[in-house]
Amino acid sequence: MATFTIRPATSADIPAITAIYAFEVREKTASFELTAPDEAEMSRRFTALATGGFPYLVAEAEGRLAGYAYAGPYRPRPAYRYTVENSVYLDPTYYRRGIGSALLTELIAQCTARGFRQMIAVIGDSANAASIGLHRRAGFAMIGTHPDVGFKFGRWLDSVQMQLALGDGGRTTPAG
């Protein structure tokens, strides 16, 4: 287990966040983007989520940014306003050290405190056992797999969806 701290992300974190995400886009199948966004685009995405009232967190370990997690709108239609989609990305140096789990746990807590009722994980590639396992350990249930919906690295990829009820979930009417 690595020693790390979790805190809200700031604009100063954008270069490290951009580098972590660029690795995922270039080398892995967690993201279905084919070209890594630059710092300006990552800053725009960060600002949109932060001003929209969504949590955006980073983990620091050994004096550097080890990973980040955020929640954003699941879909743009207003009926989805109590449902968020989560993302968790780590610097590969910090895989399998408990940081992803800690980020996701804190993200769930912050989303619940903000009144969100459902969290959806959209996981690129059904072979992404690490992400599926991370979400399963956090209590997410498998809700479906969309076979062969992405094409990256010369092969078809599935998209896996998992879901976690937050707070009262769908058992009560949300306030507001």
Residue 173 within a domain: no
Alpha-helix residue ranges (DSSP H) falling in the chain: 14-27, 39-51, 99-113, 129-137
Domain that holds residue 105: 4-165
Residue 156 within a domain: yes
Residue 171 within a domain: no
**pTM assigned to the model:** 0.95
Query: What's the CA gap between 176 and 156, in Å, rounded?
Result: 42
Residue 47 within a domain: yes
Residue 175 within a domain: no
pLDDT in 10s for each residue of the chain, 176 residues: 569 999 999 999 999 999 999 999 999 999 999 999 999 999 999 999 999 999 999 999 999 999 999 999 999 999 999 999 999 999 999 999 999 999 999 999 999 999 999 999 999 999 999 999 999 999 999 999 999 999 999 999 999 999 999 999 999 998 86
CATH number of the structural domain spanning residue 51: 3.40.630.30
**Residue 91 CB: number of other CB atoms within 10 A?**
18
Residue 176 within a domain: no
Residue 144 within a domain: yes
How many distinct structural domains can be found in the chain? 1
Residue 170 within a domain: no
